Amino acid sequence: MHTTSKGYIAWLLLFFALSAWALVVFFALSISGSEAAHASVRTQNMEESARASSAVRTHALVAETEDERAQLEKILDVEALSMADILEDVGKSAGVKLRLSGASPQPSGANSPAVPLGFHVDAEGKFSALARTLMLLEKLPLASEIDRIELDKSTGSSDSWHMSVSLHVLTTSKISI
């Protein structure tokens, strides 16, 4: 009977040992799952913090640039007829015969409120007057860009030249076609 009680005690100790190992495995798995959940929450909090920080920076940028955006809007809000008048005044100031043609809206970025309006300018006069005209066209009080310049000596006259200029002027005015 003494061996039987030792056998029961051995089996009982084996059962307790296996139960203890089962509890250790259970706690290890639950700690691992809890760690994974905490890591997921930390990641979500960091992403949310980054989004909030980005939103704050964006709002600050909008607030900081309000005056500059208003000035830019004022510069770009020029109607096509006013642009044409300014371009014609360039010819008068430089003393050349200037002719405008082909004022047409050009394709622009999908999200851009500014529309490039293309102009074709032809001018005739002395070389020095055309150079002065070109200088004035480069320094227009408008948001503009010269795309192409052609300069040819006119036939028949020794001091007459012909200049052809293509340029774009940005505007936020509504342009009806």
Q: Indicate if 96 and 164 belong to the same structural domain.
A: yes
**In the listed set 38, 64, 90, which residue is the last one of a domain according to the structure?**
64
First-to-last alpha carbon distance for the chain, in angstroms, is: 112
In a domain, 69, yes or no: no
Instruction: Give 7-61 pLDDT, tens digit per residue.
Output: 888 888 999 999 999 999 999 999 988 898 999 999 999 999 999 999 999 888 8
Q: Indicate if 25 and 85 belong to the same structural domain.
A: no
What CATH number is given to the structural domain containing 96?
3.30.70.60
**In the listed set 14, 31, 64, which residue is the last one of a domain according to the structure?**
64
Q: Indicate if 161 and 85 belong to the same structural domain.
A: yes
Q: How confident is the model at residue 2, as a pLDDT?
A: 62
- Selection from 174, 172, 165, 124 nearest residue 147 by Cα: 165
Domain of 15 in residue numbering reads as: 1-64
